[in-house]
Chain A
């Protein structure tokens, strides 16, 4: 306990870094991952913007990003990261590979949620004279909203997990703190404390996400 108190400021910094990294990941997932997943769905054969070439391109991109062991992706992206933020070290730099994996990961979950929407709803929308934008926003997202929220919850928890290894590029965060102060300095208590903190955080996110998703779901 004393140890925890004496490391208080480091813990707070680490928590701040984790929130920054995960926050950016969520933002990237929503701003880029959602549209990407939507296009993945729409360009699939038999769908609204059927386009074999585009589908193949997006599908391959998502698969490639997701086939990298995450640590290797971080290393592989170093030149790109340096190009984007000017440095490859630190919390800001860590957000770049995290954003990339988040986009690919959430896009896949978005695609899956949209595939669960019955095709008939889209036909009904077309028969009403809806524009493509209206079909996407008023029909597709409306019917898929529970899945989209549930997917984002799952994704967020994965983002937290990914963020824990960002110590490798000096990204810091709770995971890095647990390794450096807890594991490497033989402070098992400190490490256990960090792990418990993470468990509580993940639990809270899952419970909240499930509750929101359930509340939004009026399908049955």
Chain B
């Protein structure tokens, strides 16, 4: 579904991504991990050309993004949803207004927009919040709105740039559940960039590890389900207790 061929990127003389190739098959939940500065964020931003690679080819679905004109690229991006660490919702629009946005941009009729917005909000479990403003929501809810917005145009790919990094463990689960649900019911290919090992272990089926701009390993893993569990944490902490003599 996503194919990067020898892409590379340099910022002001600093190499963010060394030439690398990566193929992500359709319907996979693919994790990209690494510490900060590893180039993982640049890599995911290359996938929808938010960051244009200096060299190399980016292919998503049937389209070679790096060959497209400005206009064609905009069209192609409508097929690639993206969510961000800081959600990036339009704060002066309601929840429904935000989800409606991508549909408005492509000129979907008002009636159809309304229907689609309801579907998407129902999917992420936020139908009751449709008239609220983002500032009235919790972090997890904001990210779910962002997911609903990313799904509005029925994309075949969802790019997630640190989707849970500003969330607490409980709301992280909320978001991961939705992501897994998307994969299972809609067959969307999901790429998750994260530095949180728990996120990778819980839902990723394939992991790519980056360090200092280089891809150092990439292999399949068996997702262990949503491990981030409060009781488990407490249990683990208890095991670490120092017993005074």
Contact = CB atoms under 8 A, between A and B. Distances in A.
Interface residues of B, number: 29
Given A123-B84, A220-B135, A130 B91 contact: no
A145 B76 CA distance: 30
Interface string B132-145: 01110000000000
Contacts of B199: none
A125 to B, nearest CB: 8
A67 interface: no
Given A127-B82, A129-B106, A218-B135, A120 B88 contact: yes
Contacts of A216: 92
B135 A138 contact: no
A139 B90 contact: yes
Contacts of A143: 90-92
Interface in B49-68: 50
A131 B104 CA distance: 12
Contact of B102 (A128, A131, A219): A128
Given A120-B84, A120-B86, A130 B105 contact: yes
B126 interface: no
A217 to B, nearest CB: 7
Interface string B35-77: 0000000000000101000000000000000000000011111
Interface size class of A (residues with CB under 8 A): 20 to 34
A124 B106 contact: no
B92 A128 contact: no
B50 A126 contact: yes
Residue picked from B48, B86, B92, most chain A C-beta under 10 Å: B92
A219 B104 contact: no
Given A129-B105, A130-B105, A219 B78 contact: no
B20 interface: no
Contacts of A126: 50, 77
A85 interface: no
Contacts of A128: 77-78, 101-102, 105, 149, 153
Interface string B5-28: 000000000000000000000000
A130 to B, nearest CB: 5
A47 to B, nearest CB: 15
Contact of B74 (A131, A139, A142, A220): A131
Interface string A113-142: 000001011011011111100100011001
Given A121-B90, A218-B92, A219-B135, A138 B77 contact: no
A118 B80 CA distance: 22
A218 B80 CA distance: 28
Interface string A179-220: 000000000000000000000000000000000000011111
B163 to A, nearest CB: 13
Nearest to A119: B88
B211 interface: no
A23 B163 CA distance: 48
Interface of B: 48, 50, 73-78, 80-82, 84, 86, 88, 90-93, 101-102, 104-106, 133-135, 149, 153, 159
- Those 5 A-B pairs whose CB atoms lie nearest each other, nearest first: A124-B88, A129-B77, A127-B82, A129-B74, A129-B78
Given A127-B50, A138-B104, A218-B93, 15 more contacts: A120-B84, A120-B86, A127-B48, A127-B80, A128-B77, A128-B101, A128-B102, A129-B75, A134-B105, A138-B101, A142-B92, A143-B90, A143-B91, A218-B134, A218-B135
